[in-house]
Chains A and B, each alone.
Chain A
């Protein structure tokens, strides 16, 4: 059997964190079913990444081609669909990232298989069947589903599982130079515009300090930047703030932005509209700071401070700095 595969997504020579989270879960599932755990890499010159993955998987499959240097849905689809059709893994897991959400639904269509997106739980039931859990209606309910056929394609919300621990065994690395028929690659990627630089993506952050319209002015976000920096976190924003042009789109948390699941989430000067909450309600610990005691965000928080953010946030940053010795 070709085993359980984890799609090892990488950007600018760095593997996405979610890959390691999935390798942890994948190990548990593979052991439970007596299968091999594979990591699958697509790109060009993959040796360093294969090396990095080696302590976490039984096998690293490298699919190399100059046509896979830059992400292109068509090219990746050609490579991944023929490789999986040939090997027939029981499951391919990937993070529910921008890239995987573009590629894997197309892969499901190409392989004529099912797919579950934004999984919050994967369990092995008696009889070796996988049970997948995912939110519906923006998280107001969960549904548990199972696949009728394999391979099963599963996209997991980042930060749902803890990262894997490295093992002393090393993976076997198998390299394939893939031939991609250029006529099948209909899409042309004309330009890739990076706007975030080296900043940690909010979906990967351990701590998020999210600001809303209560900040009053884009300048005031520096208060949140300072608090985030003390905590080693990043700043997020509500849609109201993004639409006003105060913060970049990639920092938007919520239904029409990103779904985040940090360990610690500060909701500052934001009301907690349903659309916002849908993007953050799996955060582990939530602190809400709002001067309106009726603000809905308090229903989704563990700790609530009914206060003026302009008084509380600078103090909090200062105290934490002392506390954490920074």
Chain B
């Protein structure tokens, strides 16, 4: 089984995010790591490899610091890592990012492409299915269970769906996006961390992806960012004091008259 995993460097969910006063961007506290759902994708790829053999390659598109998440992937057990860090590739929307990532996947043999349910920063869940369309393979999102049948060239997955679950069979190659519940990602062993520090991270530029600068990054994006906005603030909490019976009466009164929520 040849598996490709897409991993993104994103801010930690606890990181402070500040919208710039002129709305031109956001300032994000320097606390970054591998996107949580992507770590589930890496873990699943490693489990499949441990069962059936083959290779796992991680790919990330982002600024040069994205090398950190690729090292994390290698420390977990991934065999190879590819970084797409060229300036022209950055700053695009999910569509443009997917286009570049798909071109990178195409440079490799693959039976399965795994990625996260969504990236923490844009929370879109778009890149995976768009990559699948560029590759001409089927996609299944939000999977919580994966069973590969290499000889049959197929994979059976369970996905979270409206009101329950769906059991779906896809021929290989296919793209799957990882949802919580799929597995518990491993903590990189010390040996892995040592290996990761020394590992060679391959870089692919636009030329080797076979793409022009107008097809990727901001130029290749389908969306134009106009401005960033501070989210609306909830007014300060009103504490309701007293013994429980009084509290309850006052709360009901406020919900009726002030909040008009009853």
Contacts and interface: CB of A to CB of B under 8 A. Distances in A.
Interface of A: 11, 71, 73-74, 97-99, 101-102, 105-106, 108-110, 112-118, 131, 133, 135-149, 186-196, 201, 231, 239, 249-250, 255-257, 263-264, 274-275, 278, 281, 284-288, 298-308, 311-312, 315-316, 319-320, 323-324
Interface bin, chain B:
35 or more
Contacts of B152: none
Contact of B247 (A281, A284, A302, A312): A312
A222 B95 CA distance: 45
Mostly, the A contact residues are mixed
Which of A115, A257, A307 has the most chain B CB atoms inside 10 A of its CB? A115
A134 to B, nearest CB: 8
B230 A137 contact: no
Given A131-B226, A311-B244, A304 B17 contact: no
B166 A194 contact: no
Nearest to B180: A256
Contacts of A281: 231, 234
A285 B169 CA distance: 42
Interface in B203-262: 221-231, 234-235, 237-240, 244-245, 247-249, 251-252, 254-256, 259, 261-262
8 contacts: A73-B138, A110-B133, A115-B94, A137-B17, A146-B226, A194-B163, A249-B160, A256-B180
Interface stretch (B58-66, B83-91, B139-147, B188-196): B139-147
Nearest to B137: A186
A189 B230 CA distance: 42
A136 B240 contact: no
Interface stretch (B47-55, B67-75, B103-111, B124-132): B124-132
Contacts of B117: 256
Contacts of A256: 36-37, 117, 179-180
A121 to B, nearest CB: 10
B171 interface: yes
B238 A302 contact: yes
Given A102-B141, A106-B133, A117 B125 contact: yes
Interface in B153-209: 156, 159-171, 174, 179-181
Given A287-B255, A302-B238, A193 B162 contact: no
B129 A148 contact: no
B130 A144 contact: no
Contacts of A137: 11, 15, 17, 26, 28, 120-121
A215 B245 CA distance: 20
A42 B3 CA distance: 34
A117 B124 contact: yes
Contacts of B156: 190
